Structure 1
């Protein structure tokens, strides 16, 4: 099947097999931030934005992306670096394997939720597994980043 997909602002037209998952399609186009973790939609490592909404690319067929706009971490470098600095400052980066999917979800959450509570943050990010941090450093980073964004908007 031939699909047309906009990835990080660039349009691609390709023939794909019906069983190709979006994760593999994106990696074939150089989006190496999209990682393979569990392949069961449980870890969040493969999170990308489809039309600005977070999706798990390991559980979406590439043909479902036909006519859609996909954004990966490569397409959000400025925002990712901005939040990544908060994450690193709080020790939430450690091995970094989970960071791309985690950052993609945090950036989507910031756009979707205004002044989220701790419980709302945890609920939004519950599908992101990290084996290093214990999540406390990540929560501190998120809260500091949200405060920073709020102050930035008030300027």
Structure 2
């Protein structure tokens, strides 16, 4: 017989995850196309930063592709931004999203995805599949235009 010693449980912090819906599902924007996603993203993007620093943001969509919410994932410098998979998937899971729209801006004004943009998108798409999520699109936006990975055949699944 083994004698076990239990750790002191008063040294364990309890984590609480919450999510509050503030808009009824029927009133949320419906994403039927990459252009619709761009319109929602552009309306929520900080005008003072879009030409200054790269930011990575996600839109989380329900099973009917209505926007549940938007989440800023990271902010970088004028040429790159972090896209932390843990933050992306944690945000989507927390609000029970089924689809994710990835988005980042290019302050340079270029709409051409970099090699790293393509690698990141592919990695996130594979990770999402393991979690039962789908990447609906990855949008690169500038002040007045956008590039859709979906429209340009850069997604594994459409």
Same-fold call, TM cutoff 0.5: no
TM-score by structure 2 length?
0.25
Structure of greater relative contact order (alpha carbons < 8 Å, 6+ residues apart)? 1
TM-score by structure 1 length?
0.26
Bigger CA radius of gyration: 2
